[in-house]
């Protein structure tokens, strides 16, 4: 297949020009338009034929002769242009009409297609903005997106879809849009997740920008979700530029097992993803499980091997939980209270 050519470096002399059919099909109309906008170009005299015997005034099927195209023409005393132009339906006039249509980009197929694409793009942007607004509300209020029954006949389709119905009623521009083709409504669960992930990336970026190159502490707890998958919650504790202590939840990582080596590897991957370094770690806070606070093979020990300044503190919430459990076992009234 012919390669695409630079339209600004096309050969201008008709003798040097390549046949349009030898160019890439996607570029042929652009090349024709480029030559027509440039205007006529006369080849050098030494490249003309010596006689005009080769000039043929052919019929419309043959497209006339080659004298005015590639071979050149010198007998201007009898130019015979009238025979070349012919009647209204001649090949010359048809070619002229096609060239005028080609130059007039306002009537071209590509412009018409682009106008349709712009209209579709604008409509999709309006739909997407409405979806983002609904997702922002659900995320800010910590509300569930999905409903038990999201069908059109459902009395309650879930918070997200019900909120979208309300936005459509209130948003005049969205209400006037034509019906989206297929399922292109930006209401699918995958679209909701994509928008939520975008918000997540922006929030994490803000947190890590606040930390910058400063030191921080790591808080980790691991448990299993309702499906039985092991997961690890990661928190970062740091001091912002205003001197305020902040403790932010930054990620929930699924792990294959809860061994200290797997947890350490998952945390290292998380640090590398967000440009954090364990050398800036100044504190660790875990519960009292052996895989977390073990002196030799625990997660605490593995971080201390890399950074002696990452001091470990037993989680105060876990200590309080242990105290409450011990008290409940001894005092029934305390147990009834909780």
What is the residue extent of each domain of the chain?
7-107, 110-196, 212-330
CA distances from residue 177 to 29, 143, 165 in whole angstroms, order as listed: 35, 28, 14
> How big, in percent rounded to 5, are the helix, strand and coil portions of the chain?
50, 10, 40
* Structure-token pair, residue 177: 């849009």
Global model pTM greater than 0.75? no
Give the Cβ contact number of residue 56 at 10 Å. 11
Q: Are strands 281-286 and 311-314 parallel, antiparallel or unpaired?
A: parallel
Q: Tell which residue, 78, 96, 76, has the closest CA to residue 88.
A: 96
- Per-residue confidence of the chain (338 residues) as pLDDT tens digits? 556 778 778 887 777 778 888 888 878 878 877 877 776 665 554 444 433 333 343 444 444 556 555 555 666 666 666 777 777 778 778 877 777 776 676 656 565 555 667 777 788 888 888 899 999 999 999 999 988 888 888 889 889 999 988 888 888 777 777 666 556 678 888 889 999 999 999 999 999 999 988 999 999 888 877 777 888 899 999 998 888 999 999 988 888 888 888 888 999 999 998 888 888 999 998 887 788 888 878 888 889 988 899 888 887 887 888 888 888 888 888 888 87
Question: Span 212-330: which CATH code?
Answer: 3.30.420
* Structure-token pair, residue 255: 């792990």
pLDDT at 56: 40
Q: Please state, in angstroms and rounded to a whole number, the distance separating the CA atoms of residues 291 and 159.
A: 40
Residue 233 β-bridge partners: 221, 252
- DSSP secondary structure letters along 85-145: H-STTSHHHHHHHHHHHHH-GGGSHHHHHHHHHHHHHHHHHHHHHHHHHHHHHHHHTT---
Token look-up 């890399």 returns: 306
Helix (H, G, I), strand (E, B) or coil at 253: strand
pLDDT at 136: 93
Token look-up 């100044």 returns: 282
């Amino acid at each position: 297949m012919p390669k695409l050519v630079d339209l600004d470096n096309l050969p201008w002399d008709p003798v040097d020009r390549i046949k349009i059919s030898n160019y890439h099909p996607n570029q042929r109309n652009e090349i024709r338009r480029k030559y027509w906008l440039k205007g006529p170009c006369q080849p050098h005299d030494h490249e003309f034929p010596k006689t005009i015997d080769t000039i043929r005034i052919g019929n419309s099927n043959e497209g006339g002769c080659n004298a005015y195209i590639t071979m050149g023409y010198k007998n201007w005393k009898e130019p015979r242009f009238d025979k070349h132009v012919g009647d209204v339906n001649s090949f010359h006039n048809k070619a002229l009409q096609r060239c005028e249509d080609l130059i007039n980009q306002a009537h071209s197929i590509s412009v018409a297609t682009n106008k349709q694409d712009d209209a579709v793009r604008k409509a999709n942007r309006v739909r997407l903005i409405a979806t983002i607004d609904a997702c922002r509300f659900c995320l800010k209020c910590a509300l569930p997106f999905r409903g038990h029954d999201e069908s059109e006949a459902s009395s309650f389709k879930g918070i997200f879809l019900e909120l979208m119905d309300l936005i459509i009623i209130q948003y005049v521009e969205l209400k006037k849009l034509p019906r989206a083709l297929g399922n292109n409504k930006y209401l699918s669960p995958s679209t909701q997740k994509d928008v939520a992930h975008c918000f997540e990336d922006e929030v994490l970026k803000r947190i890590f920008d606040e930390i910058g190159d400063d030191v921080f502490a790591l808080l980790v707890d691991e448990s299993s979700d309702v499906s039985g998958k092991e997961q690890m919650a990661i928190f970062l504790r740091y001091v912002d530029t205003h001197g305020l202590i902040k403790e932010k939840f930054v990620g929930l990582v699924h792990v294959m097992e809860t061994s200290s080596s797997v947890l350490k590897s998952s945390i290292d991957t998380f640090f590398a993803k967000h440009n954090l370094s364990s050398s800036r770690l100044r504190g660790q806070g875990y519960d009292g499980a052996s895989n977390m606070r073990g002196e030799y093979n625990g997660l605490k020990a593995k971080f201390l091997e890399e950074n002696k300044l990452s001091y470990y503190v037993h989680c105060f919430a876990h200590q309080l939980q242990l105290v409450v459990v011990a008290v409940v076992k001894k005092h029934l009234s305390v147990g009834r209270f909780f």
